[in-house]
Amino acid sequence: MAAGTDARFHLRASASDSAAVELRQFEHFLAVVEQGSFTRAAARLFMVQSSLSASLLGLERELGTDLFIRGRRGAELTDAGRALLEPARSALAEADRARDAVAQVRGLVRGSVRFAAVAMPRSIDVAETIRRFQAEHPAVDVHVVPVGARDMIDLVTEGAVDFAITPRIDRMSPTLRFQPLVSTPLVLVCPAGHRLAGAEDLDPAEVIGEFLIDLPRGWRARELFDRLLEEHGVDRRVGVEINDWLTVLTMVQRGTGIAYGPQACIDVEMFTGIGIATMTGAPPWELGVVTRDEPLRGAAGRAFLAAYLERCREPITD
């Protein structure tokens, strides 16, 4: 089966059990695509990797073509795999709509919710919504996809997730809608007792010579910080890049160096021993919900998003 095989698919749907297997295989196929490897996809699906591989080998045999090029860099799609993306997503979406229609007749909300999210302020944390929603709607599966902001936009555009809780980016497709939830300034994060801790309207040039714990390129906070330094003519050295916000705060707390980030995302109760410094000309970091410019197709997704937005409007109590 060559990677360039013509991508024409002949799916068997002669029996209900066969159709169900195909839906699971489509879910497994899309999980590998989104995660980029069989190992990560198996972990997300709570499967052993051998079972996931067997499922997808069965799908490839049924379709008569390879879907992935398996290598050291993970799993890359063949031409046939790319051709299968939209039909697989459509098949799963149709199945969800069918379940929703039956569930609504019975007065139930069931199905699945898939959304992408970044680390967020406690005031709009999604964890409490998940807890309440699953208590009220135990038949709904909730899947959270942690990816970078720009990747989230792509997932929403392609329909791979129902919505994303993500920072605003400069260029957003007119087919998407951004509903802002919070706007907070970009600040420096320092160990308590550091010479910059507690400073206000700090000249960004003060970061020169400091060991800087950076966020990776592609993160909105990194983009805003780079732009701020460029506007002030500052050329700084990257000390280390960390692809996890909580790890960044932990390293600052332990005195490894200084960092930067959205002020509202710094939990000073959890991370004691951290100081904040405001910067002159610091841009706002905005977080909101991105959806396609159309109603969410699934009843479960619509119900979850409505519950989350309602939760965001609630006052914060200790």
What's 48's domain CATH number? Answer: 1.10.10.10
For the chain, the domain total comes to 2
**Integer Cα distance of 199 and 215 in angstroms:** 22
In a domain, 86, yes or no: yes
In the chain, the amino acid numbered 32 is V
The b-or-e profile of 217-227 (16+ CB within 10 A means b, else e) is eebbbbbbbee
**Integer Cα distance of 308 and 304 in angstroms:** 6
- In this prediction, residue 109 carries a pLDDT of 60
In a domain, 122, yes or no: no
- pLDDT tens, 75-119? 889 999 999 998 898 888 788 777 666 666 554 466 788 898 888
In a domain, 98, yes or no: no
276 Rama sector, left if φ>0, alpha if ψ -120 to 50, beta otherwise: beta
pLDDT bucket at 317, cuts 50 / 70 / 90: very low
Calculate the average pLDDT of the chain. 83
The answer to whether the CB of 53 falls within 8 A of the CB of 38 is yes
The answer to whether the CB of 156 falls within 8 A of the CB of 163 is yes
**Integer Cα distance of 270 and 274 in angstroms:** 10
pLDDT bucket at 19, cuts 50 / 70 / 90: very low
Judging by DSSP bridges, how do beta strands 111-117 and 213-214 pair with one another? unpaired
Helix (H) or strand (E) holding 154: helix 149-158
In a domain, 138, yes or no: no
Q: How many CB atoms lie within 10 A of CB 52?
A: 21
Running DSSP on this structure, what letter comes out for residue 204?
G
Q: Where are the beta strands (DSSP E) in the chain?
A: 68-71, 74-77, 111-117, 140-145, 163-167, 176-191, 213-214, 240-241, 259-262, 274-278, 284-292
In a domain, 39, yes or no: yes
Q: Which residue among 65, 92, 119 closes a domain? A: 92
Question: Which residue segment(s) compose the domain that 255 sits in?
Answer: 182-286
Q: How many CB atoms lie within 10 A of CB 12?
A: 10
**Integer Cα distance of 150 and 247 in angstroms:** 21
- pLDDT tens, 224-276? 999 999 999 988 877 899 988 989 999 999 999 999 999 999 988 888 889 99
Q: What is the CATH number of the domain that holds 208?
A: 3.40.190.10
Task: Look at the pTM and tell me if it is higher than 0.85.
Answer: no
In a domain, 121, yes or no: no
